[in-house]
A and B are shown apart, each in its own frame.
Chain A
């Protein structure tokens, strides 16, 4: 612990706060305020803390406000921290509005690379800092924060039936879109309630994992007393491309998957498959539905499968990612092609590429934005690894349809769905608005 004479605070003119000092410095009164070395040090700290205060966007910053929320068609960053929140029992409509306002303010600062609140050094040294500080100095890292609302936000929780606002805790029930039904049970689900659902979700994506974690951590802290972290998931290594400028990456099975994604450049495809239109209440137009599925991969058994078996399961070659009927990744698969000798289809009737393809799903498409994850290992010496699948689609029905098509998928032997969530992502946040403001007007 340093002595009081080492504390720059004691060097400030009596009654001068750090923020006032900044004002003095801004007015060109450096000589007045920075009377000693300690004062100069304090001034440097201040300037670095508030260094991004100008109107000019910082390098690597993705605009927070716009026609649609960021983090959907934004070229997929490499790192994810996804978080689901539950509103505290007893929280009111005013609490929810205040939370969304506070989150909006913090998110705008975070996505500009600024510290939240009073930053990591409050004027009063006995206060805990508003900003936890671990992202300071790391830059903006293309951070995006995407907010979604769970069905339970509109209809409440069954196990909270004793509450006065049972069934409509925040006065939003009438704004629930007709299509916003819970996802049905799917074959091979072994869902864990502690990694599923949530009244609110926040998808934080960034180039640096610590930037994403910092954002979720600080938003979680801001939520205290109103909402509580229900579960969260770290992801690395995007498993889909959302822009033609990006290569299709590989999942932890070593395969390219999701080649037939809706791309950011495909504005008509986005309008048709991703953005919610006139069919929905006004608050959701220009938004989307976010499905998250935590898909555990049985890595060890997969690694013991032969190359031929692995390629049969996906219906693609391992290295090039080409459909087994083609040579390049983006070659259209020929599902009718037969092997001359046996007459069997070249692409197995239960291969993943066949079952997931839009052609076999009445043209249904979604924008996939998943990430690989490894949550360490279990006590049996198996990796706790898999795919944190995220997709955005105009209707939950799209996901349901594709997921049902995958029921006979050969891949199912090597995966289990262990977490699940569905959220409605409101449209873009306009100037001066807070996230989801249209819900409350």
Chain B
């Protein structure tokens, strides 16, 4: 997991607003669109109005500071990213256009584009709920229910994994590590919408170090369970600039701290997803499906074998990402077909089968997948070919579902 994935998640939130616009849910030209001035500097983030009316809002962010900044519209929990505009250079202005329903929100800026942000301020939206069709609502409800079942399964699996790890049953913990991640990998773009959780749960070591975050979560435990490989990896010349002081076995107390934190973070994710306020847009679902496949192909993803750089269990994650994308696609499939996308739907059906069949050649969750370091360049190239075959048509899904 990288910071760019987080930003992708934010872009999804922003896109969903655009998508609904194009879908004709509000009149084109949006006569009631409201423009709100935001003045940002290195310490503050002044929003001209603390209230707005539901529909399309445009925040015009002027950066009067000395650092490049970002502007966020956050949910009432200050964590859910409703919309984001980044890379606002000093002295320049950029717009964030979002479509929002009634509710409580927060605005914030992030000078230097790192850290917790500054100038958090409440922002209230009044007015009517944003219109959607019953079919769309049903699809969203179905997918939200699926996300809940995944987090509900995730909690005990992670609990079992952490228990084995804390008890020092390393062989058992190593066997449970890839299994404990399956449900998370199926719904990862959703988890990434809760801005601070994914970095704690699933950041890889380079990502954590680069962003100045404590290295915690699945991959911290992975490093401890496969410590010899970690030492070997981080002794390579190209990784020589990473600190070595954490390449020592954790004590039982440290194991308990790291393990308990993962359990707590996963539990928090489950609570958030189960909250009555939790919802997603159609574009969240379709872009999430694409995002899951992009994660497999990313330079620090599963295809290059970087996701689980010590355990080499990337084929489990790869499979889970594809399954997650397939569920998202299946959920919106009827809408796609209703919009005249039968051909795209059929193509995606076939590509999913082909991708999953190819993966099945390497094992299964039950029987275990082969260690990814035994999959040679030619075989990885074949996996890449199937993934590309699936990802290219997937890039047309959002347009087919919400853009007609």
A binding-site residues for B, Cβ under 8 Å: 1-5, 10, 14, 86, 88-90, 124-128, 159, 193-194, 221, 224-228, 230, 379
A1 in contact with B97 (CB, 8 Å): yes
Indicate whether B54 reaches chain A with its CB closer than 8 angstroms. no
Q: Contacts A2-B97, A4-B97 hold; do A194 and B396 have CB atoms under 8 A apart?
A: no
A126 in contact with B398 (CB, 8 Å): yes
A3 in contact with B97 (CB, 8 Å): yes
Q: Contacts A126-B22, A126-B403, A379-B237 hold; do A225 and B28 have CB atoms under 8 A apart?
A: no
B311 → chain A closest CB, angstroms: 25
Q: Is the interface of A mostly helix, strand, loop or mixed?
A: loop
Q: Contacts A86-B385, A228-B385 hold; do A127 and B97 have CB atoms under 8 A apart?
A: no
Q: Contacts A88-B385, A88-B389 hold; do A4 and B21 have CB atoms under 8 A apart?
A: yes
- A89 / chain B contacts, CB cutoff of 8 Å: 358, 382, 385
- B97 / chain A contacts, CB cutoff of 8 Å: 1-4
A84 → chain B closest CB, angstroms: 11
B19 in contact with A193 (CB, 8 Å): no
- B18 / chain A contacts, CB cutoff of 8 Å: 1, 4, 125-126
Docked pose: A416 CA to B388 CA in angstroms: 33
B289 → chain A closest CB, angstroms: 14
What 17 additional pairs, Cβ within 8 angstroms, besides A88-B389, A124-B403?
Answer: A1-B14, A3-B58, A4-B18, A4-B28, A4-B29, A5-B30, A5-B33, A86-B381, A88-B386, A89-B382, A125-B403, A128-B395, A224-B391, A225-B390, A225-B393, A228-B381, A228-B382
A224 in contact with B389 (CB, 8 Å): yes
The 16 sampled A-B contact pairs (Cβ below 8 Å) are: A1-B14, A1-B18, A1-B85, A1-B94, A3-B95, A3-B97, A5-B29, A86-B385, A88-B382, A88-B385, A89-B385, A126-B399, A127-B399, A193-B377, A225-B351, A379-B237
Name the residue of chain A whose CB is nearest to the CB of B350.
A225
- A124 / chain B contacts, CB cutoff of 8 Å: 22, 399, 403
B399 in contact with A194 (CB, 8 Å): no
Contact of A10 among B29, B237, B354 (CB under 8 A): B29
A159 in contact with B378 (CB, 8 Å): yes
- A1 / chain B contacts, CB cutoff of 8 Å: 14, 18, 85, 94-97
- A86 / chain B contacts, CB cutoff of 8 Å: 381, 385
Docked pose: A88 CA to B392 CA in angstroms: 14
Docked pose: A193 CA to B351 CA in angstroms: 27
- B35 / chain A contacts, CB cutoff of 8 Å: 3
Contact of B95 among A2, A10, A126, A127 (CB under 8 A): A2
Docked pose: A128 CA to B397 CA in angstroms: 10
- A88 / chain B contacts, CB cutoff of 8 Å: 382, 385-386, 389
Q: Using a CB-CB cutoff of 8 Å, which residues 177-207 of chain B contact chain A?
A: none
- B358 / chain A contacts, CB cutoff of 8 Å: 89
Q: Using a CB-CB cutoff of 8 Å, which residues 366-404 of chain B contact chain A?
A: 377-378, 381-382, 384-386, 388-393, 395-396, 398-399, 402-403
